[in-house]
């Protein structure tokens, strides 16, 4: 899970086309990157070999596992990329040691999703000073000099998207009751999601009537949802921040036997999307928090080391920061997002 939201400095690239689209259909008319209509363009052609070190927290839930798996799959698409993946860890000191090893091995780039952005900042600075391209993923460093580029999701945007969808579904329903099942309340990401949600609801005259917090785990999701359902005899809509903890939320809802409300998920798991597509459960939507960020980091690292840019930009350098979009997935568009969904 991400650590903090920042203002988008360069561009918001939508999920599914992020870092891949181009401005032409052939290499001759495009010096940028990616593929369009299945035609390879300049950035996909083999170039200088790039050795990339990859480190992320332990894959102790579906979203984090998908981050690492997507990074490996992306690297496998390129004959000029060697990806060195270390074991995921929630031990800050071990992750620092992993990065130190990458520095000593003189890799070309490091794609780093830090367990703690502040704690990993000094070693990331050390890597940059050693001439290694660092791509920061999801949880930001404390210094702008610690990374060449940063790939972020949009936590505030998740809340806005979820709140906007709830407003649309409850439009004109007097006295509608909205509930929220948040993640860990002490984290800035949770605070940002809740802030966006509340502000979007305020725009249509609604508010969060009942709120509980969980811990991004199945067990905590079930416990929090059970408490919520006991405290609120009537609910019209529920937004759950995280589809991994949503497995527990769904269990609590099933055990309660209640069905008077619809649910909006968060992050975009495959199991929730399949429920949305089948239209046979309380989930009618989920808000994406892209699990492609590690893959995007690998692609950015390759482009930066090879001196290439993004094909859709006139800018000749890789952007300083990319913030991915937080779209709402519904029955109408679920087929577009299922291929990049993660398994909870």
Nearest to 309 by CA among 47, 25, 31: 31
In a shared domain, residues 29 and 90: yes
In a shared domain, residues 306 and 197: no
Give residue-wise pLDDT tens across range 146-169.
999 999 999 999 999 999 999 999
Whether 23 has a pLDDT exceeding 50, the answer reads no
Give residue-wise pLDDT tens across range 242-276.
999 999 999 999 999 999 999 999 999 999 999 99
**What DSSP line would sit under 50-119, residue for residue?**
EEEEEE-----SHHHHHHHHHHHHHHTT-TTEEEEEPPP-S-HHHHHHHHHHHHHTT-SEEEE--SSHHH
Rounded mean pLDDT, 164-187: 94
In a shared domain, residues 193 and 268: yes
Domain final residue pick, 240, 264, 288: 288
Domain final residue pick, 269, 288, 307: 288
In a shared domain, residues 35 and 142: yes
In a shared domain, residues 233 and 298: no
DSSP 327: P
pLDDT at residue 307, rounded to an integer: 93
Which band of pLDDT confidence, cut at 50, 70 and 90, is reported for residue 343? very high
Give residue-wise pLDDT tens across range 101-156.
999 999 999 999 999 999 999 999 999 999 999 999 999 999 999 999 999 999 99
Q: How far is CA 53 from CA 58, 84, 107, in A?
A: 16, 5, 7
In a shared domain, residues 128 and 255: no
In a shared domain, residues 29 and 104: yes
Count of structural domains, the chain: 2
8 A C-beta contact, residue 267 and residue 289: yes
Q: Is residue 330 part of a domain?
A: no
In a shared domain, residues 82 and 63: yes
How far apart are alpha carbons 199 and 74 in whole angstroms?
Answer: 36
Give residue-wise pLDDT tens across range 280-305.
999 999 999 999 999 999 999 999 99
Q: Is residue 336 part of a domain?
A: no
pLDDT at residue 45, rounded to an integer: 87
How far apart are alpha carbons 139 and 111 in whole angstroms?
Answer: 12
Place of tokens 């952005």: 117
Q: Is residue 179 part of a domain?
A: yes
8 A C-beta contact, residue 243 and residue 343: no
Which band of pLDDT confidence, cut at 50, 70 and 90, is reported for residue 2? very low
Q: Is residue 337 part of a domain?
A: no
Whether 12 has a pLDDT exceeding 50, the answer reads no
Give residue-wise pLDDT tens across range 45-97.
899 999 999 999 999 889 999 999 999 999 999 999 999 999 999 999 999 99
Domain final residue pick, 245, 261, 288: 288
CATH code of the domain covering residue 184: 3.40.50.2300
In a shared domain, residues 216 and 279: yes
Residues 6+ apart with CB under 8 A from 102: 53, 55, 84, 110, 127, 132
8 A C-beta contact, residue 10 and residue 300: no
Q: Is residue 274 part of a domain?
A: yes
Q: Is residue 331 part of a domain?
A: no
Q: Is residue 344 part of a domain?
A: no
Which band of pLDDT confidence, cut at 50, 70 and 90, is reported for residue 30? very low
Q: Is residue 1 part of a domain?
A: no
In a shared domain, residues 278 and 301: no
In a shared domain, residues 144 and 161: no
For residue 109, give its domain range.
11-151+292-323
Whether 41 has a pLDDT exceeding 60, the answer reads no
Whether 341 has a pLDDT exceeding 60, the answer reads yes
β 328-329/283-288 pair status: antiparallel
Backbone torsions φ then ψ of 101, nearest 5 degrees:
-65, -40
Nearest to 179 by CA among 195, 155, 197, 152: 197
Backbone torsions φ then ψ of 159, nearest 5 degrees:
-65, -40
Q: Is 28 helix (H, G, I), strand (E, B) or coil?
A: helix
pLDDT at residue 271, rounded to an integer: 96
Backbone torsions φ then ψ of 170, nearest 5 degrees:
-100, 10
In a shared domain, residues 94 and 27: yes
């Amino acid at each position: 899970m991400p650590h903090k939201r920042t203002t988008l400095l360069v561009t918001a690239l939508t999920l599914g086309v992020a870092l891949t689209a181009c401005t032409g259909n052939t290499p001759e008319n495009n010096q940028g990157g990616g593929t369009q209509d299945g035609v390879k363009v300049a950035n996909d052609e083999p170039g200088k070999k790039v050795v990339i070190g990859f480190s992320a927290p332990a894959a102790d839930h579906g979203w984090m596992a998908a981050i690492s798996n997507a990074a490996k799959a992306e690297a496998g698409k390129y004959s000029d990329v060697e990806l060195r993946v270390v074991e995921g860890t929630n031990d800050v000191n071990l992750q620092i040691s992993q990065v130190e090893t990458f520095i000593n091995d003189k890799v070309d780039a490091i794609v780093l999703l830090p367990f703690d952005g502040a704690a990993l900042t000094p070693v990331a600075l050390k890597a940059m000073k050693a001439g290694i391209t660092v791509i920061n993923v999801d949880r930001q460093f404390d210094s702008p000099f610690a990374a060449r580029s940063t790939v972020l999701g949009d936590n505030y945007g998740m809340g806005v998207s979820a709140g906007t969808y709830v407003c649309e579904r409850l439009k004109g329903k007097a006295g509608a009751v909205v509930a929220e099942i948040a993640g860990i309340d002490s984290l800035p990401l949770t605070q940002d999601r809740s802030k966006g949600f509340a502000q979007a609801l305020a725009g249509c005259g609604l508010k969060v009537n009942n709120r509980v917090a969980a811990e991004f785990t199945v067990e905590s999701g079930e416990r929090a949802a059970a408490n919520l359902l006991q405290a609120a005899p009537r609910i019209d809509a529920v937004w759950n921040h995280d589809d991994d903890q949503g497995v527990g939320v769904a269990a609590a809802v099933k055990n309660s036997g209640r069905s008077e409300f619809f649910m909006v998920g968060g992050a975009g798991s495959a199991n929730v999307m399949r429920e949305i597509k089948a239209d046979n459960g309380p989930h009618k939507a989920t808000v994406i928090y892209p699990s492609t960020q590690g893959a995007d980091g690998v692609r950015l690292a390759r482009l930066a080391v090879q001196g290439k840019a993004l094909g859709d930009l006139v800018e000749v350098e890789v952007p300083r920061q990319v913030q991915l979009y937080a779209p709402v997935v519904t029955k109408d568009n679920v087929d577009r997002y299922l291929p990049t969904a993660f398994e909870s």
